[in-house]
Amino acid sequence: MGVTGRERQLLAILKLASEYLERQGVDSARLDAEVLLAHVLAMDRIDLYVNYDRPMDDRELAEYRAVLRKRASRMPVAYITGFKEFMSLEFAVDERVLIPRPETEILVETVRDRITRASKERPRIADIGTGSGAIACSLALMLPSARVLATDVSSDALGVAKANVKKHGLEDRVVCRQGDLLEGLGASMEREMVDAIVSNPPYIPSSELDALSPEISQYEPRGALDGGPDGLDFYRRLARGCVEFLADGGFLALEIGNGQAPDVIGLLTEAGFGDVESIDDYSGTARVVVASRPAGCRVLKNGAM
């Protein structure tokens, strides 16, 4: 992108950058060009147009070229900038964690609303497979009396989650713990009882991973995507194992992939969960399944079933 004179002005640079990304097959070329330029210049996107005739110096141009090359290679914008907005909050992200999606906000809102209706004085929530910690931190910020346990099998992911917990000043209410799925909740007599278990588990069928967009298949952690042969492996494990960690009146809330609602509802119903229902996202697609703790499970004071 060799430029001189007026071609160094922001509006002209944006035009060149958008055309370059379009040629590389980037769908949202103009938007991405704006976001990346605003990132390089530490501006808001609107400021790019307010200052449309501002020239860029050599250092700025070099930095912008570098991030454009990354985007042209299909690296997600969030990994380039190092952050992603979720629930109107900013979270640090990198290639150790899945990038938070807007549809996951439905999961967070569902848990928030159910906890609020239950009027628990100090609700306890477990976020299983926390990744960046976006779900755990969002719930803790929306529910100021809540205590959240955020678990992940990946120590790399927990490094990102802990950074976000610190970023949002939640060290006293969000605890990060390593463990495979429910292992982070403890075992035997030491297990922790919670009022809600929330999870956005891997749910892409293994055979479909390579067909995903390059932004996903080439960059996002496969372990956070691969749900096994039919995409349901983690739902089966959660349905079988989470009952013993749910306190009386507790519930399980899960994000699901397109078309998975009937299968996940069936798994939870078979496991004895009650009041099983699916919740649509804003496009009308079933995105969350929520279910109440099976009736008849007695919890002793020491936490044993």
pLDDT for the residue 174: 97
Reported as a single tens digit per residue, the pLDDT across 12-41 is 999 999 999 999 999 999 999 999 999 999
Annotation: CATH topology of 94-292: Rossmann fold (3.40.50)
pLDDT for the residue 300: 32
Mean pLDDT value of segment 53-77: 96
Task: Please check the confidence at residue 303 and state whether its pLDDT lies above 50.
Answer: no
111, 130, 150, 220, 249 from 165: Cα distances, Å: 19, 11, 10, 21, 28
Task: Please check the confidence at residue 75 and state whether its pLDDT lies above 50.
Answer: yes
pLDDT for the residue 181: 92
Q: What angle do CA 250, 252, 258 make, to 5 degrees?
A: 160
Kindly state the tokens that stand for 246. Answer: 């749910």
Reported as a single tens digit per residue, the pLDDT across 169-218 is 999 999 999 999 999 887 544 567 899 999 999 999 999 999 999 999 99
Q: What percent of the chain has pLDDT over 70?
A: 93
DSSP state for residue 109 in the 8-state scheme = H
Task: Please check the confidence at residue 245 and state whether its pLDDT lies above 90.
Answer: yes
pLDDT for the residue 191: 65
Kindly state the tokens that stand for 279. Answer: 């919740």
Q: What is the CA radius of gyration of the chain?
A: 22
pLDDT for the residue 258: 94
CATH 1.10.150.110 applies to domain 5-73: no
CB 68 within 8 A of CB 23: no
pLDDT for the residue 299: 37
Pairing status of strand 89-92 against strand 83-86: antiparallel
Task: Give the domain ranges of the chain.
Answer: 5-73, 94-292
Reported as a single tens digit per residue, the pLDDT across 123-156 is 999 999 999 999 999 999 999 999 999 999 999 9
How far is it, in rounded angstroms, from Cα 193 to Cα 69?
48
Cα atoms found within 13 Å of the Cα of residue 288, Cβ hemisphere only: 22
DSSP state for residue 62 in the 8-state scheme = H
Band (pLDDT 50/70/90 cuts) for residue 305 is very low
Kindly state the tokens that stand for 7. Answer: 């071609």
Select from 279, 204, 269, 202 the least CA-distant residue to 239: 269
* Cβ-based neighbour number of residue 281 at 10 Å: 16
Band (pLDDT 50/70/90 cuts) for residue 4 is low
Query: Mean pLDDT, the chain, as a whole number?
Result: 92
Name the strand (E) or helix (H) holding 176: strand 174-178
pLDDT for the residue 186: 77
Select from 151, 84, 85, 146 the least CA-distant residue to 111: 146
